[in-house]
Amino acid sequence: MNINRRKFLTTLGIAAISTQIPSFAVKANISPNTMIKPPRLKLGDTVGLISPAGIVDSEDVEQAQQIFTGLGLKVKLGRHILDRYGYLAGKDKNRAGDVNAMFADKSVNGIIAMRGGWGGNRILPLLNYKSIRANPKIIMGYSDITSLLLAITARSGIVTFHGAVATSTWNNFTWKYVKSILFDAQAVMMNNTFITQLTREIITPGKAKGKLIGGNLSVINSMLGSSYVPQWKGSILFIEDIGEDVYRVDRMLTQLKNAGILNQLSGFVFGQCTRCSTGDEPSLTLMQVLQEHIRPLNIPAWYGSMIGHIRDKFTLPIGIEVEIDANAGIIKMLEAAVS
Dmax of the chain from CA atoms? 56
- Which of 134, 153, 166 is closest to 65 using CA atoms? 166
Q: Which helix (H) or strand (E) holds 303?
A: strand 301-303
- Which of 189, 147, 172 is closest to 52 using CA atoms? 147
DSSP 3-state of 175: helix
Tell me the C-alpha to C-alpha distance, in Å, between residue 263 and each of 30, 137, 162, 216, 223.
Answer: 21, 32, 23, 19, 18
Q: Are 134 and 36 in contact (CB under 8 A)?
A: no
Q: Are 119 and 141 in contact (CB under 8 A)?
A: no
CA dihedral 187, 233, 309, 329 (to 10 degrees): -60
- Report the amino acid identity of residue 87: Y
What is the DSSP pairing of strand 110-113 with strand 46-50?
parallel
- Contact partners, residue 69, CB within 8 Å, separation at least 6: 75
The catalytic site residues sit at: 143, 240, 309
DSSP 3-state of 112: strand
> Which DSSP category does 267 fall into?
E
Other Cβ atoms within 10 Å of 199 Cβ, number:
10
Q: What is the DSSP string of 11-70?
A: HHT-S----PPP-----SPPPGGG-BPPPPP-TT-EEEEE-SSB---HHHHHHHHHHHHH
